[in-house]
Structure 1
Amino acid sequence: MSTDVHHTECNGLRVTWRRDPTRQQILVVGIDAISDRSAVVTLAPGDHLDLVQARQRWPQLAPLWNAIRHDFWTGALTVWTDSA
C-alpha cells in the first residue's frame, strides 16, 4: 500500500486518510458529507489524528472507522500478495 491519500465512504460520509509508513498508522485527515461535500470534521493543514484517536473522539462514527480499517487491510494484503 502506498502513502498516497485514500478516501473511504460509509453512511453518507467520506473520510480522507493516509498511511504513515514510519509508524504504521492510519492518519485521518478530514471527513466530509458526500451529499454536499461540506466538512464534518476539519483538521488544520498538516494536522491529523491516528485511527485510534479518531475512534476515541468520535465513537458514533464506528462504521466509518471500520470501513477505513477494511480498506487499509484489503490494500495491504493486495500489495503483499502481488509481491509474493
Structure 2
Amino acid sequence: MTWRLIQNQLISIVGVHNACDASPALSFGPAAYPDLAQARELHPGLTKVWDAVRHDFWTKLIPPRASSGRQRQWA
C-alpha cells in the first residue's frame, strides 16, 4: 500500500498493491486521492488494509519507545 500525509494530518491513499506480486490492486489519480475515511467508504471490503494503513500512520507519527526494561513514571 502507498499512502502519504497531507495537510491537517490527513492520510491520503495513493494505491494498494497485491502482497503476492506487488501488482496494483487499487489506485487513485493525483486529483482524487481519498483520505483514509473516504477510502473506507469507497472500498469497505478492504477493512484489514485500511486498519494497516492507520496502524502504519500512528507508528510513524509516534514511534514505539525502545524497551529498556524500566518503566518511566510521570508525575
Which blocks of at least 5 consecutive residues in structure 1 are unaligned?
1-14
Q: Which has the higher strand share?
A: 1
Q: Which whole-Å CA distance do the structure 2 matches of 1:45 and 1:52 have between them?
A: 17
**Match of 1:78, as an amino acid?**
P
| Runs of 4+ displaced beyond 3 Å | none
Give the gaps of 5 or more residues in structure 2. Answer: 66-75
Q: Over alpha carbons, which structure has the higher Rg?
A: 2
Q: Does 1:41 align with 2:26?
A: yes
Identity of aligned residues (%): 38
Under a length normalisation based on structure 2, what TM-score does the superposition of the two structures give? Answer: 0.73
TM-score between both structures, scaled by the size of structure 1: 0.66
Higher relative contact order (CA 8 A, sep 6+): 1
RMSD across aligned positions (CA): 1.9
Q: Is the 8 A contact 1:29 1:47 kept in 2?
A: no
Aligned length: 65
Whichever residue aligns with residue 5 of structure 2, its letter is: R
